[in-house]
Amino acid sequence: MAELGAPVAVADLVRTIDDNRDDPCVAYKILQQSMAEYIKTGAEIPAALRQIEKDLSVECFAESQGR
């Protein structure tokens, strides 16, 4: 049953990130906090979240460089 809850949590997180996409650094921070929870509980971080992390890190870096 726990597996059924995980995709919902991921979907909610992705929605929250999308809602904050106008500021990629805020979205990245939200994602990092969520990933820390996965690590803390010993759960595997979904591949989709790892990809979003990579994308947001690039966007955040570009924004910090004024691009």
3 in a structural domain: no
Task: Output the CA torsion sign for 25, 59, 11, 34.
Answer: negative
Q: Encode 1-50 in three state secondary structure.
A: CHHHHHHHHHHHHHHHHHHCCCCHHHHHHHHHHHHHHHHHHCCCCCHHHH
11 in a structural domain: no
55 in a structural domain: yes
**Model confidence pLDDT, tens digit, residues 5-64:** 565 688 899 999 999 889 999 999 999 999 998 999 898 999 999 999 999 999 999 988
Largest CA distance in the chain: 46
Residue 66: what pLDDT?
Answer: 79
Residue 1: what pLDDT?
Answer: 38
SS3 43: coil
Residue 63: what pLDDT?
Answer: 85
Residue 58: what pLDDT?
Answer: 94
Domain that holds residue 24: 18-64
Q: Could you give the number of structural domains in the chain?
A: 1
pTM: 0.79
Q: Which residue has the higher pLDDT, 11 or 4?
A: 11
